[in-house]
Amino acid sequence: MATLLQSQSQHITLEGVSWPTYQALLHDMGDHRASRLAYDRGILEIIMPSDLHEVLNRLLDRIITALTEELDLKIKAYGSTTLERADLEQGVEPDSCYYIQNADQISTLELDLRNGPPPDLAVEVDITSSSQRRFAIYQQLQIPEVWRYTQRRGLVFYQWVEGQYVECAVSPTFPQVRSQMLMQFLQLAPGQDDNAIIKALRQWVRQQIT
């Protein structure tokens, strides 16, 4: 029987949840839902994103897309698709995830992480809950890079190195980009519309290239 470990306004954690139960929940809840699920060997997290969470997540998604366009990089965006490995009994739904370096290797809409590469980049926006457990799942799935936003630290880049995540100032995916620079654009969100922010980002990238 599942046991409630922790309950917050937008965050519930259950233990004693079997892999078949987790799979059944994914099926019954469907794709069109606001909640995010993470499963780690019997422990299930259910997260309900806040308004601020969604604003920042969508802006980061547009920033990443714009960076690939300006730097002429390929991209396949999988959003918050479920990343899972039945053999590891682990699954997670990032706020956003992308194939960039390995975009050419993905030829299907349905991912198979046991036989193919994981996404190159995942994004976590932590407003009402910690992504610590989800980071442990990313570590097992060997996702090379994770961007994490928190209200305390802002945007931080992490790179998977020798089985663990190491904080880095420069993005491995975008060597021209530092987290502190992107924070300047994120901080424009309260006063400017998204298009204006992305336009300013594009102008900055072009200046770096030239």
The ranges assigned to domains in the chain are 50-209
The pair of structure tokens assigned to 125 is 């926006």
> Model-level pTM greater than 0.95?
no
**Spans in the chain with pLDDT lower than 70:** 1-9, 128-130, 210
- At residue 144, the 3 state secondary structure works out as coil
Alpha-carbon distance of 156 to 77, in angstroms, equals 20
Distance CA 24, CA 17 (A): 11
Q: What amino acid is encoded at 89 in this protein? A: E
Angle at 136 between CA 182 and CA 14, to 5 degrees: 115
| DSSP label of 179 | H
Q: Are 144 and 171 in contact (CB under 8 A)?
A: no
pLDDT confidence of residue 157? 97
Tokens 């336009």, residue located: 199
Measured CA to CA, the distance from residue 194 to residue 201 in angstroms comes to 11
Estimate to the nearest angstrom the gap between the alpha carbon of 157 and the chain centroid. 11
Three-state DSSP string of 30-87: CCCCCCEEEEECCEEEEECCCHHHHHHHHHHHHHHHHHHHHCCCCCEECCCCCEEECC
CATH superfamily of 50-209: tt1808, chain A (3.90.1570.10)
pLDDT of residue 7: 37
Q: How much is the pLDDT for 128?
A: 67
The CA distance from 39 to 202, in Å, is: 37
